[in-house]
Each structure stands twice: as C-alpha cells, then as structure tokens.
Structure 1
Amino acid sequence: MEKPKRLESRTVSTNDIDNDNAAGIRRRDNRLLAHLGYKSEFRREFSLIETIAFAFSIMGVCAAVSTTFFFPLVAGGHVGMVFGWLIPCFFVLCIAASLAELTSSMPTSAGLYYFSAKLAPPKYSALISWITGWANVTGQIALVCSIDFTCAQMITTAISVGSDGSINLGPGPTFGILLLILLSHAIVCSSASQFLARLALIYGVVNVSTTLAAVIGLLVASGENRVSAKDAFTLLENNTGWKNDGWAFLLAFTSPMWTLTGYDAAAHISEEVAGAARSAPIAILSGVAATEFLGFLLLIAASFATSSVSELLATDLPLPMGQLFLNTLGKRGMLVLWSFLISVQWVNGVTQGVDASRVTFALARDNGLPGSRWWKQINRRTQTPVNAVWLVMLVSAVIGVLAFSETALSSLAGATVVGLYTSYAIPILLRITSGRKMFVPGPFSLGRYSVPIGTIAVLWAIFVSVLLCFPSVQKISAAGDMNYAVVIVAAVFLFSSLSWILSAHRWFFGPVPNITDDDLSDIDPQSERKAQNERHAADDDKSNDIDDSERRLST
C-alpha cells in the first residue's frame, strides 16, 4: 500500500480571526481545518457560551462529587474531602492550560493524537499517534461507562431511600439500569449538534444551581450537628487499612481526578464550534476552573455536615453521599435534590458520549480502528457520526460487566484516568521537547511559560496514572476489592501493541488529508487560485527547460 503524504506543518496563523459575522467566522474555521488536512463534515452549531457549557457539563461537578464521595471519605475523612480535592486542582489546571494551547493551534476532532503526530519526530510520528489515539479512546469509553454506572447507582440509591430501605437492588438490576441508560444515551447522542449544544447550555445552568443548592442545604440544614471548623479542615481519619496515613490520603485524589476528566471534549467538538481556535481553549480553562471552585465549595459543606465518617461508611445505600443528604435534609428533601443530581449525571453521560464518539470518529477517519469505514460515516440527516456513537455505547456495555464487582467504580475511575491522562501527557511532552520548533501558536498561547507549565503537567499525569492503579483499601481479593483498572489498561495496551506489530505499522500513518482541491476551492478560492498559478508557473518553467534542451541539441 502506498504511504499517504504526511501532513505538512500549518503555515497560516489563526490570529486573524475577528468578531466578523457568523458566516465569516465559519469560513475561517473551515479554512483553518482545511489547512490541517480535513474537510468540514459537521455543522458549526456551538457558540462560545455553549462550548463552555459543554466543557463544564461533561464534568458534572455536583453529581460527580456525590458519586465519588466514598474515596475521600475512606482515605482521609475531613482532610480527604477538603485537601484531597484542593491539591490536585492546581496540577489539573496546568494540564488544562497546556491542552488549551494545543487546541488553539490545531482545532480538530482528532485532538490529542493529531497533536502528537504533528509534534513528534517524523520517524516515530505514526507510532506515537497510534499510542495516543488508543489511550484516549480507552479513557473516553471507560469514562462513558463509569458515568452511566454511577448514574445507575444514584437511581438505586433513590429507590432504596424512597422505599425506606425495603428495596435494595443488587449488581444485576444495577447492570440492567446501566444498559437502559446507555441505550437512552445512544439515541440522544445521535442527535444533531444544534440540539446537543442547547441541551449542554440548559444543563450548565442546572448544574450550577443544583451545586449551590446542595452547598446551602448542607450548611443550613445540618444546624447543631455541624462539626467545628478545626475538625472540618484538619481531622484525618484513615479507613483504608494502609498503615501510612500519607499514602492513604493520596488515594483521596481519585475523586477529583475522575471528576476533572473529559475537558478535552472542547477539542473533540471543535469541528462543530464557531470560532474554534478561540472558543475551544476558553471552554477548556473555564470549565475546569468552574468545576474546581464549585467542587471545593460542595466538599467543604459536606465536611461540615459530616458528624460521623464511620456512620456514612457503614450505610446500606450504594452511595454514602446519599446517606449524608438523607441525614441532613430528611427523606423528602434528599429525594428532591437527588432527582436533580440524577438528571445532571444523565446529561453528563450525554456530553461524554458525544465526546467519545467524536474522537472515535476522528481516529476512524484516519483509519486507526478496526472497521474504520463504518465508524467514520456521517449521518446525512443529523450530520453526526451515529455509527461511532453506537459503537461507543456497545463497548461501554461490555465494560459495564464490572458492575458485578464490589470495586467497579474504582476500576472504571482508574482506567479512565490512566487512559485519558496518558493521552494528555504525550502531546504536552512533545510540545515542550521535540515539537518546540514545529509548534505554531494559535490565539491562545502560554508563551515562555509553556515549558514549566508543561513539565508540571507531564509529571503530574505520570504520578496519578500510577497512583490510581492501586486499590482503595490494603487487603484485596479478586472478587471483592481488586482494582481492575490495570487489567483494563493492560488488555487495551496488549491489543493495540499486537495490532501495531502484526499489522497496523503497514497501514496506519497517523493523520492523513481527506480534503481535495475541489473542497479547498469551495472553502478558499483565493488559495486555490494561488495554487493554480504556482502549478502553471511550474509548467511554464518545465516547458522552457524543454525548449532550452532542444535548442542545445540542435546546436
């Protein structure tokens, strides 16, 4: 098979994007995408505010904190809740800033594996792109499954509270609910971009309102049961079984690291965003910063309202946060607030499903997946990758069998963070090493701070990727407390490695252009005229060379 031509580095700057009319902005977006090597196949329906809402909604702060409350609770008690959240926030901001810079320069649905291919040494470009793409897809699909699994747990928690504990659904029914949620998401995620943009905007507001309601409710309704400020911020309780309290405290990072994932979604929907070179990086940073701030407020309120850590850990409810709301707000208040949390988590699953389907589509567009010709198809009616959506949900359902494990969330959270943060670290590392001279900044640039910020980002990604492979408790068993994150990651790594060695190295060459001269002419007639003039000039030079040769021969 003939090796496709490698995409040349972009020579145009995106700094000329101004506040022109919508049609003009979209033309500039499509022209930039064409210079990156791709033709526009989506409708650019996401505005700046909708892109921010999408990036924010994908982290679903109030629901995500509630579903992962177990980790800081068992790992550090009050200290785990407050500082187990606060410390990772600084490092995640460094990663978000580095990804925002890359996205501003190269706004395409391919995202991270495209960045890696462009910034890697040419000899290793395809291999590094392959590794990044598979790591990202693994994390994306594991995140879809974990979000929908926790949504199912929230539903079973509500059923238990509503029945006064008489109905406690086990792993089987929970898995059944998970499948129904995945089915609903497959249908909704197949919708047109305009509908998805409006849904994200609406639920951005619901997300913020629900979080603030939870904060106020916990602080006000806890009344005399509130712990002192000293205990709320400094009381450390280690319930992990690990003897070292410092190590146990680090395991509290699971909650913020799982919550603060998926913000690269703004890069993966950039082909659906108007003014993507500016809007996407703003969305990444705004979404992460808002999630970190609101999550910190919610966990401070939860720390004050938690009068007994051991009581919450001993609850029969699937999620300890449900018990905290029940103790604080009563049955009716808890169910009202919990219903909003369930809806936020459900929309969180929608946005993540969209994100995962876009990167799956992009990797298939570059022939990086088995059956790529099916997964890169765009539905003519909705102009969205419907086949990729259903593939994501099907694989998520397969991974969902972990619901029968007692540590399903630990395993899914670990696989998510390891997959995604590996794919984040690779292009950032290349940006500050081999790709420094090749990198062409977009409207958002870190400038001279890119190297120190990128270094911190890479080191943190490596640290948490190792950390989250450990179980949340010391004594484990295969059927009980085993963290299967390393099994999931190892299985994908083994499959992708063997695929590369046996076959893929012969046909995967990283991002390849899919745009023709006709497509470029439609997008940028001036560039096409310039290209035609260059071809005509080359033909004239060739003709003159032939004439000179003939004259010399005749002489």
Structure 2
Amino acid sequence: MPQDATLSSPSTSLKGSEDLARPADNEGLTAVKHADDALLAKLGYQSVFKREFSLLETIAFAFSIMGVVASVSSTMSFPLVSGGHVGMVFGWLIPALFVMTVAASLAELTSAMPTSAGLYYFSAKLAPPRWAPLASWITGWANVMGQVTLVCSIDFTCAQMITTALNVGSDGAINLGAGPTFGILIAILFTHAMVCSAATAVLARLNIFYVIVNVGTTIAAIVALLVCSGDQRVSTETAFTMFENSTGWTNNGWAFLLAFTAPMWTLTGYDSAAHISEETAGAARAAPIAILVGVGATATLGWLLYIAASFAAASVPDLLASPLPLPMGQLFLDVLGKRGMLAIWSLIIVVQYITGAAQGVDASRVVFAFARDNALPGSRWWKKIHPYTATPVNAVWLVMALAGVCGLLGFSETALSSLAGASVIGLYISYVTPIFLRITTGRDKLQRGPFSLGRWYMPIGTIAVAWVSFITVLLVFPPEVHPTAQTMNYAIVIIMAVFIFASVWWVVSARKWFKGPVRTVEEGGFYGKERVDEKEVPVSDS
C-alpha cells in the first residue's frame, strides 16, 4: 500500500476507469458493474439498484446537492451579521479549508466500503466488536436527522426565495408571512417527492442538467455583482478588511465565529456520493472523486461569489435592514435593478429547487439503507423497492413528510439558523464518528480501496475530528444575545428530541436485537439473485 494519498485501480475492477465513459452496453462497463456487485456482496449486501450513475454524473450529483449559488444566497445573512465584509470573505474561507479534511477522510472510507449504508456501516466495521452496534446506531440516527432537516432547510429557503421574488415583482405589495411560506414549502416538498420517486436512470441524467444550471448561474452572479456594481463597488481594503459586528455579542472574535454557519450549511451532503454508490458504476473510484471534486468546486466558487458580494455591498447595515426575507435578494436588487434581479433570482430559485431534489434522493437512500438493517420504526415499509422504478419510493415520501413536520419551525424568527444548525450538527456527527474510529480503534481494520490517504490519514483525521467537535458546540448557540422564545436557536430541540428517542429505544429494546449492518447475501458472497418486494428476480447486468 502506498504511503501517500493515491488513486489507483480497484482490486475488484476488471477494466480501467476509461470504461466508465463507454456506452452502457459496452462489455467493459458491464464487467465493471459486475465487479461493483461482487464488492457489494463482499460487504454483505445484495445489489437491488441499477448502476446508472457514471463518474461524471456522480460528481454532478455531489456538486448539485450543495447548490453553491443558491446556498450562498440563502445564508448570506449569517456573515453579514457576524462580521460584514470580513465575515463574508474569511468566514467562508476558514471553514472551507477545515471541511476539506473531513471530505478527504470520508472519501477514503467510501472508496474502501462503497455502500448506500455509508457512514453507519463504516462505524460498525471500524468500532470494537462489542461497541459496533451502538456506534452504528448513533451514526445512523445522526445521519437520518441531518438528512431530513437538510431537506427541510433547503426547501424552506427555496420558499423564502419565491416570496422574495413576489415581493420585488409586486414592488412590495405582496409580502407573504410565515403561514403562506409554510404552504409554499409543503408544495415544494410534494413535487420533490414525485421527482425523487423516479427511476435511477432518470435521476442520473437529470444531474448533468443540474450542474450546468448551477455552475452557469454561479458564474453569472459573480460577473453581474462585479461588473454592474459600478461606482457603489467598495475598495479592496474595505472588501477584505472591514469588520462590522451586528450580532449583539460584545466579543468580536466570537461574533465572527458565528459566520461559519453559512459555509458549514452549504458544505454538507457530500456523503451523497456514498449513499448512491450502489447505483454507481465503478463506485470505489467514482464516489471518492465525487466527494473531493464536489467539495473543492463548491468551496472555490462559493468563496469567489462571496468576494464579489463583498465588493458589491456598499452598506452592510442597509442590507440587513431590508424588508426582503433574504439579504442577497436586496443586494441583487441594488446592483441590477428590478428586472435584472428577477432574472438572476429566477435562476437561483431553479438551482435551489434542484438542490432540494438532489438532497431528497440522498436522504431517501439513507432511510432505505438504515431500514434495510431494521433500524427504523416500520422498517419493512421503508426498505421496499418499487418494482417499476427500482427506487425506494416509500422512503422518499417518508423523508418529505418528516421534512414537512420540521418546517413548522418556519413560524419562528430563527427558522433558518435552527434548521441549518440541526442539519449541520446531525450530519457532521455522523461524518466524524467513523473518522474518529478510523484514527483510534480502526487503524488496522480498514481494507483500503483505490483512494487512500496513506500515512496522512492520521493527521488529516485528527484535524477533522477536532474541527467537528468545535463547530458542533458553536452551532447550538443562539445567533444573538438574550434570546426569546421567538429568537432562540431551536437546533438543540431537534437534536435532543431525536437523541432522546433513539437513546430510549436503544436502552429499552434495540440493544437486544440490533447488531449493526445485516448481511443480505451468503458469507461466500453469492449475489446472483436478489429479492424485490417479495419476488425473486435476477440481478441486472445493466
């Protein structure tokens, strides 16, 4: 095994990575898919999905789920309040660098164990045998919580974008409150449930469209802010060094740290590459590449967009005083005028809608995998694969229903910070648990895949664990001093509700029967047949 980070051909693959680009009926690609199914059987699972995602489509999926331009537009209020220009520029850059250590560590684990079970499977295999079920249980429930609240937070901000457009288009005559915004959220969740129930082939092809719209809109936004800001554009010194604390916290350093919420919320969901690995050709190579490229591209484009926004923001207090739900909408209105703002804002709404759809697919695969191991109430329903689409349709609708319940937080003033905090904390706890086990009890357990960090896994993993420990504490704090019932951070309420439920169920019942990931194939790795909705069908070659 090489000592440095490497990406070489997987031991199970019969052809090189060039096969991933060949047509679906190519003999080499068929061999790759058979090798993927063989590796999956070795990990303990039957192949029940069609491997329709190519390398490019897997990268597009991981990138689209972070929806950079829409995510920045959704969360710009955090750095504006917590540092102004400095909050926008450096409040993004610093967390992005640390997140790369988490992404690199997860890429290594995903390459070694490419399964939809993902994070909780990693924890089970890296923990001491006695504690493997508990480690898997904690990781799985944290990931499910994070996935569902991330769906809700994305679609909630999409609803806010729609209300912003209506407000601007009507010159302020239409100013929808929390109730209509919640109604729009429910409508978005319903349409996403239908989209996410589609066949894998449809979902895979849609991601190419997703990434074109995403990248194109981001570049258009950067150019528009820099070119059209004209005389209102601030100096380079102001854009990079002017600090304004509007949080109410007297300590400027602490106030600046709260700006980290924006990039941490944006740079989530990249574990999606692991969760669709059972639908990916050449998953041991494609999934880790998708994680690294997705995070790297999102971090870079997001930073450039925030720099452009910092130059274009003539007055941070004026942006914060805007009657629009999202300050980025006011910035575009100031820079581009009504028509220009509505034009680019419409594209950003499309990007956010696409992001929600991609996240819905990711969350449904997590729920399916966890239910496949009988770890959810009603698992027999949520692990069913629809015989026509070959996707977990029941799990999709469960995710959207739970996201709708979480959407009730939209009636509080801190809805976004609460939902963002809960999703980030849930997801990053599930990310860091297997990483922590990798650098402690699992140092000699990992059978490395084609992507390996080599000897660097230890320092990179240590930094990742330290960073997540810090950010988890930070994100439960309220966004401003002296919180009330309306302004408190409700992330802790969501987290504790799930934690208490999962803990009580574990103590009362689950510890007696939950043993971690359940093998669905014989120990010898037979994977020639699979069971779908109680019918035995042959594994597809395509």
**TM-score interval w.r.t. the shorter chain?**
over 0.9
Query: Given the alignment of the two structures, is residue 272 of structure 1 paired with residue 313 of structure 2, yes or no?
Result: no
Please name the residue that 2:310 is paired with.
303
Unaligned runs of 5+ in 2: 1-9, 20-27, 530-542
Higher helix fraction: Structure 1 or Structure 2? 1
Match for residue 16 of structure 2 among 5, 15, 18: 18
Query: What's the offset of the Cα at 1:522?
Result: 2.5
Give TM-score scaled by structure 1 length.
0.91
Residue 373 of structure 1 pairs with residue 380 of structure 2? yes
Q: CA deviation at 1:187?
A: 0.3
Paired letter, 1:325: F
**In the TM superposition, what whole-angstrom CA distance separates every residue of 1:186-233 from its partner, at most 9, and x where no partner exists?**
000000111111111111011111001000000111001001100000
Amino acid at match of 1:486: I
User: Using the alignment, how far apart are the partners of 1:16 and 1:26 within structure 2?
Assistant: 9
Q: Does 1:34 align with 2:32?
A: no
Asked whether the 8 Å contact 1:26–1:44 carries over to 2, the reply is yes
The reply on whether 1:430 has 2:459 as its aligned counterpart is no
Matched residues in 2 for 1:522 and 1:190: separation?
Answer: 26
Structure 1 residues 513 and 216: CA distance shift in structure 2, 3 A: same
Equivalent of 1:200, from 182, 188, 207?
207
Distance 1:509 1:253, change over 3 A: same
Q: Does residue 484 of structure 1 match 2:490?
A: yes
Deviation at 1:516, TM superposition (A): 4.0
Shift of 1:308: 0.4
Counterparts of 1:400-419 in structure 2, within 5 Å, are 400-419=407-426
Report the counterpart of residue 336 of structure 2 in structure 1.
Answer: 329
Cα offset for 1:498? 0.1
Q: Within 5 Å, which residues of 2 pair with 1:355-504?
A: 355-479=362-486, 481-504=487-510
Residue 264 (structure 1) shift:
0.2
Matches within 5 A, 1:506-545: 506-516=512-522, 520=526, 522=528
The answer to whether the 8 A contact 1:44-1:272 is kept is yes
Question: Which residue of structure 2 lines up, in the alignment, with residue 549 of structure 1?
Answer: none
Q: Deviations over 1:367-399 (max 9, x none)?
A: 000000000000010000000000000000001
CA distance in 2, matches of 1:17, 1:262: 30
CA distance in 2, matches of 1:521, 1:388: 24
Report the alpha carbon displacement of residue 428 of structure 1 after superposing the two structures with TM.
0.2
Do 1:15 and 1:443's aligned partners in 2 also have CA atoms closer than 8 Å? no
Amino acid at match of 1:126: P
- Give the match's secondary structure for 2:244: coil
Q: Displacement of 1:474 after TM fit?
A: 1.1
- Specify which of 81, 99, 107 is matched with residue 100 of structure 1: 107
Other-structure match for 1:236 = 243
Paired with 2:148 and 2:48, the residues of 1 have a C-alpha distance of: 23
- Residue 192 of structure 1 contacts residue 383 of structure 1 at CA under 8 Å; is this kept in 2? yes
What SS does the aligned partner of 1:520 have? coil
2:41 and 2:527 in contact (8 A); partners too: no
Matched-pair contact (CA < 8 Å) for 2:114–2:284: yes
| Matched letter for residue 18 of structure 1 | G
Q: How many angstroms does 1:294 deviate by?
A: 0.3
Relative to structure 1, the CA distance from residue 517 to residue 15 in structure 2 (aligned partners, 3 Å threshold; closer, same or farther) is closer
Query: 1:78 touches 1:231 (CA, 8 Å); kept in 2?
Result: yes
CA distance in 1, matches of 2:460, 2:316: 37
Structure 1 match to 2:358: 351
Instruction: List runs of 5+ in structure 1 lacking aligned partners.
Output: 1-11, 524-555
* Structure 2: distance between partners of 1:452 and 1:126: 27
State the distance in 1 between where 2:44 and 2:210 align: 34
Letter of the 2:106 counterpart = L
Q: Report the counterpart of residue 171 of structure 1 in structure 2.
A: 178
Provide the C-alpha distance between the structure 2 equivalents of 1:15 and 1:293, rounded to a whole number of angstroms: 32
Asked if structure 2 preserves the Cα contact closer than 8 Å seen for 1:14 and 1:443, the reply is: no
The answer on whether the counterparts of 2:38 and 2:527 sit within 8 Å (CA) in structure 1 is: no
Instruction: Name the SS of the counterpart of 1:122 in structure 2.
Output: coil
- For the residues of structure 1 that align with 2:252 and 2:14, how far apart are their CA atoms? 53
Q: Structure 1's 120 and 225: CA in aligned 2 closer, same or farther, altered over 3 A?
A: same
Say if 1:214 and 1:337, in contact at 8 Å, map to a contact too. yes
Structure 2 contact 110–288 (Cα < 8 Å) conserved: yes
Residue 41 of structure 1 and its aligned partner are, at CA, apart by 0.3
Counterpart selection for 2:141 from 134, 144, 148: 134
Q: Which residue of 1 aligns with 2:125?
A: 118
Partner amino acid, structure 2, of 1:402: L
Identity rate, percent? 67
Could you tell me which amino acid in structure 2 is paired with residue 207 of structure 1?
Answer: N
User: Structure 1 pair 470/180, CA: closer, same or farther in 2 (3 Å)?
Assistant: same
Q: CA deviation at 1:72?
A: 0.2
Q: Read off the aligned partner of 1:515 and give its amino acid letter.
A: V
Structure-1 separation of matches of 2:477 and 2:206: 37
1:17–1:275 CA contact under 8 A, matched in 2 = no
- Alpha-carbon distance in 2 for matches of 1:297, 1:396: 31
Matched residue, 1:262: 269
What per-residue deviation string (whole Å, max 9, x for no partner) do you get for residues 58-91 of structure 1?
0000000001000000000000000000000111
1: CA distance, partners of 2:426 / 2:188 = 23
Q: Tell me the number of residue pairs that the alignment of Structure 1 and Structure 2 aligns.
A: 512
Cα RMSD between the aligned structures? 1.3
AA at the equivalent of 2:506 = W
Rounded Cα–Cα distance in structure 1 between residues aligned with 2:304 and 2:168: 26
CA distance in 1, matches of 2:15, 2:175: 56
Task: Assess if the C-alpha contact under 8 Å between 1:225 and 1:305 holds in 2.
Answer: yes
Which of 178, 181, 196 is residue 188 of structure 2 equivalent to?
Answer: 181
**Matching residue's letter, 2:178:** P
Which residue among 495, 499, 505 is the counterpart of 2:511? 505
Letter in 2 for 1:142: T
Q: How big is the shift at 1:24? A: 0.4
Q: Distance in 2 between matches of 1:292 and 1:504?
A: 39
Whole-Å separation in 1 of the counterparts to 2:49 and 2:11: 23
Preserved CA contact (<8 Å) 1:14 1:277: no
| Deviation for aligned residue 1:18 | 2.5
* Higher alpha-carbon Rg: 1
Structure 2: how far apart are the matches of 1:475 and 1:124? 41
Q: How far 1:517 moved relative to its partner? A: 7.6
Post-superposition offset of 1:25: 0.5
State the 1:14 CA deviation. Answer: 4.1
